[in-house]
């Protein structure tokens, strides 16, 4: 050991000799503190891992919520696309429904088999349109004019003051697909 002291190297067997060899107590303190710092490092690492876990959990929740919103949005868009496709077809069939209505008026006075067959076809066509969500608007004379449902094609003067701003006559029926108006009722309004 004396050899070690003379050569200026430190010995691990005698810690007291370290102060004699030119090392100060200040140098020992970091070694002791490093033992405590390693415990502090573990608590720091644990805190860091908890923060990372919290951040990962937050990212997961946000990603899951975003996925759910995307799923709902695409389902809604798909439903709207299907309804939109139906809407175009149903709009194309509305003139046929109008023709059936006009023809029915001409067949009302007849009581033969042709009139009966025509009424069956018209009813079947009407039920098919209803099954696909098409509803006929019921607009009677004397109801209030509603620009959300009616299209005023003309205004006529009325002798009765109560008919001002009200529907006098329905020229063409309106139709709705669900809650959406696909054709406004064409009406004559009193002024």
Backbone angles phi, psi at 171, to 5 degrees: -85, -45
Which of the 8 DSSP states describes residue 139? Answer: -
Q: What is the mean pLDDT of residues 25-39?
A: 48
Q: What is the mean pLDDT of residues 61-71?
A: 95
State pLDDT tens for residues 130-152: 998 889 988 888 888 888 889 99
Walk me through the domains of the chain, giving residue ranges and CATH numbers: 135-191 (2.30.22.10)
Name the helix (H) or strand (E) containing 185.
strand 185-190
Q: What is the mean pLDDT of residues 163-171?
A: 87
What is the pLDDT at residue 143?
Answer: 85
Nearby residues of 21 by Cβ (< 8 Å), 6 or more positions away: 5, 8, 9, 10
60 or 85: which leads in pLDDT: 60
What is the pLDDT at residue 40?
Answer: 62
Let me know: does 149 contact 68? Beta carbons within 8 Å: no
State pLDDT tens for residues 73-125: 999 999 888 777 788 888 999 999 999 888 888 877 777 777 778 888 889 99
């Amino acid at each position: 050991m004396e050899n070690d002291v003379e050569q200026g190297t430190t010995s691990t067997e005698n810690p007291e000799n370290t102060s004699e060899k030119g090392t100060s107590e200040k140098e020992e303190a970091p070694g002791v503190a490093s033992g405590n710092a390693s415990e502090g490092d573990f608590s720091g690492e644990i805190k860091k891992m908890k923060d990372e876990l919290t951040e990962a959990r937050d990212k997961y929740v946000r990603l899951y919520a975003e996925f759910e919103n995307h799923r709902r949005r695409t389902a809604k868009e798909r439903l709207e696309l299907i309804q939109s496709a139906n809407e175009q077809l149903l709009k194309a069939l509305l003139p046929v429904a109008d023709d059936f209505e006009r023809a029915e008026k001409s067949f009302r006075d007849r009581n033969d088999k042709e009139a009966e067959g025509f009424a069956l076809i018209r009813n079947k066509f009407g039920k098919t349109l209803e099954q696909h969500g098409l509803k006929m608007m019921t607009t009677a004379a004397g109801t209030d004019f509603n620009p959300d449902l009616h299209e005023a094609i003309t205004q006529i003067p009325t002798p009765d003051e109560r008919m001002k701003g009200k529907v006098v006559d329905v020229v063409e029926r309106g139709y709705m697909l669900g809650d959406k108006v696909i054709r406004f009722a064409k009406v004559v309004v009193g002024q």
